Amino acid sequence: MASKPRVKIPKSVSAGDVITIKTLIKHKMESGQRKDKEGNVIPRDIINHFEAAFNGNVVFSVDIDPAVSANPYIEFSSRISEAGTFVMKWTDDAGTVIETSKDIALKG
Amino acid sequence: MNISRRAFLSTSAAASAAAFFGISGQAIATVEDVEKLIAEFGGGAAAGDAGPLQLTTPEIAENGNSVPVSVNVDSPMTDDDYIESVMIMASENPRPEVATFHFTPASGIAKASTRMRLAKTQDVLAVAKTNSGQLFKVSNNVKVTIGGCGG
C-alpha cells in the first residue's frame, strides 16, 4: 500500500551549505484509536520511524507516534561538506522498510 | 438502580462533552502522562524555560487532522555542543506523544517540521535536549475549529 516516497532535495550544493530536505510518503497512519461500524477497534498501522543517512552516517531520525497526520510529511536540514548519497528509510509497524536514495553533487 | 440525581447529571454532562469532541469513550491524556513523558525523555532533569527553543504552530487550525508543527533550536551544532533531540507532545490528545526528532552535528541546524493530528483545542508542547542533557520547554495553544463552532 505504500508507494514511492516523494523527496525534494537540491541536486548540487556548495561545500558547507545547510540544505533543507522535504519528504512525503503516502500512508494511512491508522492510529489504533478509531473504531469501525461494528465497534471493533481498527488495528494500529503507522510508519513509526524515519531515518536519513548521508554517506552511511545517520544525520537525522524521527520516532513517529500515531498523532502524526496521514501521509506523513517530514522536513529537516543537513550540512553538506562533500558529494555523496542520501539514503532515507521509512519503517512501518509490520517492519516493512521503504527506502529511497538521492545523490548530491558539489557545485564548482 | 440507586444513582443520585447529581451523579447522573455530572456523568451525562461529561459524556456529552466527550461526544462533542468526537472522542467518545476515549480518555484524553492527563498532566501526569505528559510529565512522565518529559521525565523519560530528559532522564529526570528539570525542564527549563524556552531558551533557544522555538515552536511554530498555527494559532487557529481549521482542520485538526493536519496541523503543521515546526521546531527550531538555536545551537552551534558542533560535536561538543548540539541539540540531541526534540520531543513534541499534544497535551489533550488520547495519547500525548506526537513525534521525537533526533539531530546530529551533521544536521547543521536543529530545525524540523511535520504535520500532526489534534483532537481538540489544546496546548502543544516541545521539549529540547542538548548533548549535555540540558532541557528547554515551550508550549503553544492551538485552537482547533473543525465542526465550525469556532473552538
Q: What is the ipTM of this complex?
A: 0.93
Percent of chain B past pLDDT 70, that is, above it, reads: 78
Identify residue A68 by its one-letter amino acid code: V
pLDDT digits (tens, 9 = 90+) for B36-64: 999 999 888 887 888 899 999 999 998 88
Are A78 and A23 in contact, with CB atoms under 8 Å apart? no
What whole-number distance in Å separates Cα of residue A95 and Cα of residue A91?
6
Q: Phi/psi at A12 (nearest 5 deg)?
A: -140, 145
Which residues 48-87 on chain B approach chain A with CB closer than 8 angstroms? 65-67, 70, 77
Name the residue in chain B with its Cα closest to that of A60: B103
- Give the 3-state secondary structure of residue A24: strand
- Centre a 10 Å sphere on the Cβ of residue B8 and count the other Cβ atoms it contains: 11
E strands, chain B, in order: 53-56, 60-61, 67-73, 83-90, 97-103, 110-116, 122-130, 135-144
At A8 the pLDDT is 96
Residues 6+ apart with CB under 8 A from A58: A51, A52, B104
**pTM score:** 0.85
Chain B partners within 8 Å of A58 (Cβ)? 104
Helix (H) or strand (E) run with residue B45 in it? none
At A33 the pLDDT is 86
Q: What cell was used for B69?
A: 508543527
Residue given cell 560535536 in the structure block: B79
Chain A partners within 8 Å of B103 (Cβ)? 60
Count CA within 13 A, CB hemisphere, residue B136.
21
- Tell whether B101 is within 8 A of chain A (Cβ): yes
- Tell whether A13 is within 8 A of chain B (Cβ): no
> In the predicted model, what is the mean pLDDT of residues A22-27?
95
At B5 the pLDDT is 61
Contact across the interface for B112 and A70, Cβ inside 8 Å: no
What whole-number distance in Å separates Cα of residue B15 and Cα of residue B8?
11
pLDDT band at residue A60 under the 50/70/90 scheme:
very high
Are B60 and B143 in contact, with CB atoms under 8 Å apart? yes
| B95, B99, B111 ranked by CB distance to A62: nearest | B99
Sheet holding B53-56, edge to edge: A6-8, A17-24, A73-80, B110-116, B67-73, B53-56
Are B35 and B87 in contact, with CB atoms under 8 Å apart? no
Alpha carbon B129 to its chain centroid, in Å, reads 16
Show the domains of chain A with their CATH numbers: 6-106 (2.60.40.10)
Are A108 and A77 in contact, with CB atoms under 8 Å apart? no
At B2 the pLDDT is 58
